[in-house]
Amino acid sequence: MFPIPTLTLNAYSIAQLISTLVNFYEMLILIYILLSWFPIREGSLVYDIGMVLQSLCEPFLGFFRRFIPPVGGLDFSPVIAVIALNLVSQLVIGIIM
């Protein structure tokens, strides 16, 4: 019989997974914010991508928008949200390692 491979997760691989997921989510937030700067025609592929990004990013960003009002028409809540995301991920990685 062939041996059945087992999945072993050590602290380093879990930390790498967390870091990769956080980086991916940061990229989604960045793309979502950049798309919000341009007019997008409803029914286009870019509109559909924007709607998916909105459903993924807006719940997280909305939490910070409740506490951080726009200043001079600029919304700084995504910056604070990404900083908070990084701090929490570093804290979790520090606890794991």
pLDDT digits over 46-87, tens only? 999 999 999 999 999 999 999 988 888 888 999 999 999 999
pLDDT at 1: 64
Q: Where are the domains of the chain?
A: 20-96
pLDDT at 2: 67
| pLDDT for 57 | 95
Distance (Å, rounded) from C-alpha 29 to C-alpha 78? 8
Residue 47: how many CA atoms within 13 Å on its side-chain side?
Answer: 6
Over residues 4-54, the pLDDT tens digits come to: 666 567 888 888 999 999 999 999 999 999 998 888 889 889 999 999 999
Helices (H), 36-72: 45-65
- Band of the pLDDT at 97, cuts 50, 70, 90? confident
